[in-house]
């Protein structure tokens, strides 16, 4: 049982102050800007919700929204099961655990703006390892003209970049399962599938929820990595939500970019709220079983 | 039959994944040793150490490495001391609004930097900390602080509550308990947290780009500056490979603690 005491606020106060400065103050600033037409910051006109109307009314916004949603779904459908599978494959001996985890985590260390360069270089028809092998397997040299191939490259790239995080998260959850559970399962004659379904998977729920949250949001707002692969092309087929925002920020369109930021933040809040609801359900479920 | 071959299948799957994870890195390493632009004394396409020597000779690249190390270090120095008491509070105490506060923290973790770039740039220029490593270090708290609180909270929750109570009976105050008893206990947790701060901060580019227009450029931005009309891709790959070195060394040093970083606890 936790102590019920409001002195807790004193302990979280420094964190609240730092996040207030780098999170809340900027957020309030964008909310403020989003209702103004701004040429220079000293001269601005109240225009109400005009920017919001323009964004929500535009087909372009909904098209990017749809693309980002599809991308996130595909990313989750691949990375979460793959991450679980790899975590289950990690060997038992201590020496190999450390080495495997360290090698698997290497992609997380690459600077994000280098990731598209790495993959483009890999696919280069003259010097790339894949670029020299793939064409003989039917991969078109002018893959940048094809929607399917561009999507495939971006998805494989994201899987490469981020599955490691899911693996580390899942593996850490697997390590806290007591050995007695496995012994009991062996006595009951449970097969590997039953062990996974009834012992390992339930222990993964909490961590999977976190993994899904992080992976969903980061892929939904993918910015740095996806754009350079094919400049959003062909024909805007890989223009994701954050790209539009990035373009407006580069052009210093204060009003529209602020309105867009607020809309995106509302999506974020909604996702975070659903996450906390789901977590609450999980907690109720596990404490219900314990009593 | 299927069950008997399971260990074999597992090994194959794992090796296939490791090969997949290493493939782009192998490509990077190969190109980093190849001369890609004509330079005196080296033929294009031949093996060379020139690219790595080039990093050392370029003053911009050298200072970029120093900047990156500096801002990551400052970020860790801000994040960890702020996160420890907060993680302790979330782990041990229930206070009015604790769940909502945790939700707010999570919301800031998943807020993509691009959403807040413009106001953060303005705020930081009025505070006079753009173009400095301190600005980037502070901006990166947006995602590093929530994740640190979450990781540390897991480590603190793993310590039995009886330890707090005995310490309080012995006359320890809460802050003194955290300093004298708790910190030594969660030392591996602090190391893991610092590593994850390093990792997320080192590779971030959106804040790093907008906050360093003239000065204080980190490695990722120095790499960007290398792209131009005639890009020396060999040098680019050498810088990228070199930029992974500190992380790789830390990663191998931390490897046995890595998986313990994300113990899941209730909030």
Q: Is residue A47 part of a domain?
A: no
Q: Is residue B71 part of a domain?
A: yes
Q: What is the CATH number of the domain that holds B238?
A: 1.10.3720.10
Q: Is residue A248 part of a domain?
A: yes
* Alpha-carbon gap: A5 to the closest alpha carbon of chain B (Å): 5
Q: What is the CATH number of the domain that holds A72?
A: 1.10.3720.10
pLDDT digits 0-9 by tens, A160-218 = 999 999 998 888 888 878 888 888 888 988 888 888 888 888 888 888 888 898 899 88
Answer whether B123 sits within 8 Å of A25, measured CB to CB.
Answer: yes
Q: Is residue A38 part of a domain?
A: no
Answer whether B260 sits within 8 Å of A175, measured CB to CB.
Answer: yes
Q: What is the count of structural domains for chain A?
A: 1
For residues B148-160, average pLDDT: 86
The predicted structure's pLDDT at residue B226? 85
Question: Residue A231: which residues within 8 A CB-CB, separation 6 or more?
Answer: none
Two structure tokens written together for B230: 């005639």
Q: Which residues pair with A46 in a beta bridge?
A: A36
Highest mean pLDDT among A16-30, A176-190, B37-51: A16-30
Question: Which among B13, B22, B24 is the nearest to A89, CB-wise?
Answer: B13
pLDDT digits 0-9 by tens, A139-166 = 887 888 888 889 999 999 999 999 999 9
Q: Nearest-CA residue of chain A relative to B123? A: A26
Q: Over 70: is that where the pLDDT of B261 sits?
A: no
Domain that holds residue B125: 58-262
Answer whether A112 sits within 8 Å of B17, measured CB to CB.
Answer: no
For chain B, list the strands marked E by DSSP: 93-94
DSSP string computed for chain A: --EE-TTHHHHHHHHHHHHIIIIIHHHHHHHHHTTEEEEETTEEEE-TTHHHHHHHH-HHHHHHHHHHHHHHHHHHHHHHHHHHHHHHHS-SSHHHHHHHHHHHTGGGGS-TTHHHHHHHHHT-TTT-HHHHHGGGGT--TTGGG-HHHHHHHHHHHHHHHHHHHHHHHHHHHHTTS-HHHHHHHHHTT--HHHHIIIIIHHHHHHHHHHHHHHHHHHHHT--TTHHHHHTT-STTTT--HHHHHHHHHHTT-HHHHHHHHHHHHHHHHHHHHHHHHHHHHHHHHHHHHH-
**Residue A291's pLDDT band (cuts 50, 70, 90):** very low
Q: What is the count of structural domains for chain B?
A: 1
DSSP string computed for B197-218: HHHHHHT--HHHHHH-SSS---
Q: Is residue B227 part of a domain?
A: yes
Two structure tokens written together for A79: 């990375």
Domain that holds residue A64: 58-290
pLDDT digits 0-9 by tens, B157-179 = 888 888 888 888 888 888 888 88
Q: Nearest-CA residue of chain B relative to A91? A: B11
Answer whether A106 sits within 8 Å of B119, measured CB to CB.
Answer: no
Q: Is residue B251 part of a domain?
A: yes
Q: Is residue A51 part of a domain?
A: no
Q: Is residue B77 part of a domain?
A: yes
**Residue B37's pLDDT band (cuts 50, 70, 90):** confident
**Residue B260's pLDDT band (cuts 50, 70, 90):** low
CB-CB neighbors (< 8 A) of A283 in chain B: 266
Q: Is residue A26 part of a domain?
A: no
């Amino acid at each position: 049982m936790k102590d019920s005491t409001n002195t807790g606020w004193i302990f979280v106060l420094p964190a609240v102050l730092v996040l207030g400065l780098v999170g809340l103050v900027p957020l309030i600033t964008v909310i403020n800007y989003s209702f103004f037409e701004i040429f220079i910051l000293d001269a601005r006109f109240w225009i109400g919700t005009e920017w919001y109307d323009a964004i929500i009314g535009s087909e372009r916004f909904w098209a990017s929204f749809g693309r980002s949603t599809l991308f996130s779904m595909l990313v989750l459908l691949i990375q979460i099961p793959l991450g679980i599978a790899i975590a289950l494959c990690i060997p038992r001996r201590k020496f190999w655990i450390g080495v495997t985890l360290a090698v698997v985590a290497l992609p997380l260390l690459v600077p994000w703006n280098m990731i598209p360069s790495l993959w483009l270089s890999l696919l280069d028809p003259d010097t790339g390892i894949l670029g020299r092998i793939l064409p003989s397997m039917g991969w078109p040299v002018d893959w940048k003209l094809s929607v399917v191939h561009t999507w495939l490259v971006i998805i494989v790239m994201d899987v490469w970049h981020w599955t490691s995080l899911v693996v580390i998260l899942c593996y850490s959850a697997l390590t806290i399962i007591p050995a007695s559970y496995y012994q009991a399962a062996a006595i009951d004659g449970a097969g590997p599938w039953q062990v996974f379904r009834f012992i390992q998977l339930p222990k993964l729920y909490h961590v999977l929820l976190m993994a899904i949250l992080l992976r969903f949001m980061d892929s939904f707002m993918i910015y740095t990595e996806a754009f350079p692969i094919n400049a959003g092309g062909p024909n805007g087929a890989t223009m994701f939500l954050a790209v539009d925002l990035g373009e407006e920020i580069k052009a210093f369109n204060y009003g529209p970019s602020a309105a867009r930021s607020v809309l995106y933040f509302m999506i974020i809040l909604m996702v975070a709220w659903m996450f906390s609801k789901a977590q609450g359900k999980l907690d109720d479920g596990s404490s219900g079983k314990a009593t | 039959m299927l069950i008997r071959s399971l260990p074999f299948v597992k090994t194959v799957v794992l090796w296939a994944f490791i090969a997949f994870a290493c493939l782009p890195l192998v490509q990077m390493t190969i190109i980093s040793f190849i001369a890609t632009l004509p330079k005196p004394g080296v033929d294009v396409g031949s093996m060379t150490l020139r690219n790595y020597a080039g990093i050392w000779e370029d003053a911009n690249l050298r200072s970029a490495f120093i900047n990156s190390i500096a801002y990551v270090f400052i970020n860790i120095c801000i994040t960890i001391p702020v996160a420890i008491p907060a993680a302790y509070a979330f782990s041990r105490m229930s206070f009015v609004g604790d769940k909502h506060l945790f939700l707010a923290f999570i919301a800031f973790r998943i807020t993509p930097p691009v959403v807040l770039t413009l106001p953060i740039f303005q705020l930081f220029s009025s505070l006079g900390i753009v173009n400095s490593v301190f600005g980037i270090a502070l901006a990166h708290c947006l995602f590093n602080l929530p994740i640190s609180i979450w990781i540390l909270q897991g480590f603190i929750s793993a310590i039995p509550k009886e330890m707090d109570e005995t310490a309080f009976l012995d006359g320890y105050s809460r802050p003194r308990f955290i300093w004298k008893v708790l910190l030594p206990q969660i030392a591996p947790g602090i190391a893991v947290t610092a590593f994850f701060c390093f990792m997320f901060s080192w590779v971030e580019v959106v804040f790093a780009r907008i906050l360093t227009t003239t000065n204080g450029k980190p490695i990722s931005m120095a790499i960007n500056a290398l792209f131009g009309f005639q890009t020396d891709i060999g040098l680019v790959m050498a810088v990228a490979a070199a930029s992974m070195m500190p992380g790789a060394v830390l990663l191998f040093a931390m490897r046995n603690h890595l998986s313990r970083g994300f113990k899941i606890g209730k909030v």
